[in-house]
Amino acid sequence: MGRHSSWELAGGASITEDLSVVDRLGGGSTCEAYLAFDEITYGPVVVKLLRPERVADGLTALRAEVEALRAVNHPVVVRHLRHDLDGPRPHVVMEAVDGPRLSTLVRRFGPLPPEQYLPLGIELASAAQYLRRTGWVHLDLKPSNVVMAAPARVIDLSAARTVADAAALTHPVGTDAWMAPEQCRPGERGVPGPASDVFGIAATLHHAVSGEHPFGDDGQEWPQLRHAPRPLPSRVPRPVVDVVAAGLAPEPADRPTPVEVAEALEPVYAALPKGHLAGLRTR
Q: Report the pLDDT value the prediction gives residue 62, as an integer from 0 to 100.
A: 96
- Please tell me the predicted confidence (pLDDT) of residue 136: 98
CA distance 48 to 21: 12
Closest of 71, 94, 74 to residue 82, by C-alpha? 94
User: What's the pTM?
Assistant: 0.93
Bond preceding residue 151 cis, omega within 30 of 0: yes
Taking the C-alpha atoms of residue 183 and residue 161, their distance in angstroms, rounded to an integer, is 12
Chain segment 258-276, per-residue pLDDT in tens: 999 999 999 999 999 976 5
pLDDT for the residue numbered 181: 98
What kind of fold does domain 102-270 have according to CATH?
Transferase(Phosphotransferase); domain 1 (1.10.510)
Residue 79 · residue 92 · CB < 8 Å = no
pLDDT value at position 217? 77
- Within the chain, all domains assigned CATH 1.10.510.10 are found at 102-270
Q: Which residues pair with 50 in a beta bridge?
A: 31
Higher pLDDT: 105 or 279? It is: 105
The pLDDT mean for the chain works out to 95
111 touches 211 (CB < 8 A): yes
**CB 10, CB 59: distance < 8 Å:** no
Q: What is the pLDDT of residue 280?
A: 44
DSSP β-bridge partners for residue 45: 36, 95
Q: Which listed CATH number (3.40.50.300, 3.40.50.2020, 3.30.200.20, 3.40.50.720) goes with 14-95?
A: 3.30.200.20
> Of all residues in the chain, what percent carry a pLDDT higher than 90?
92
Per-residue confidence (pLDDT) for residue 4, from 0 to 100? 86
- Among the listed ranges 1-5, 125-129, 130-134, 224-228, which one has the minimum average pLDDT value? 1-5
Q: Where in the chain is the domain with CATH 3.30.200.20?
A: 14-95
Give residue 219's pLDDT.
78
Report pLDDT for 276. 54
For the residues 122-136, what does the mean pLDDT come to?
98
End-to-end CA distance of the chain: 32
- pLDDT score at 92: 98
pLDDT band of 282, cuts 50, 70, 90: very low
pLDDT at 135 over 80: yes
Looking at residue 220, its pLDDT comes to 83
pLDDT surpassing 70 at residue 279: no
Distance CA 271, CA 146 (A): 25
- Greater model confidence, 225 or 281: 225
Comparing C-alpha atoms, which of 261, 239, 242 is closest to residue 195?
Answer: 261
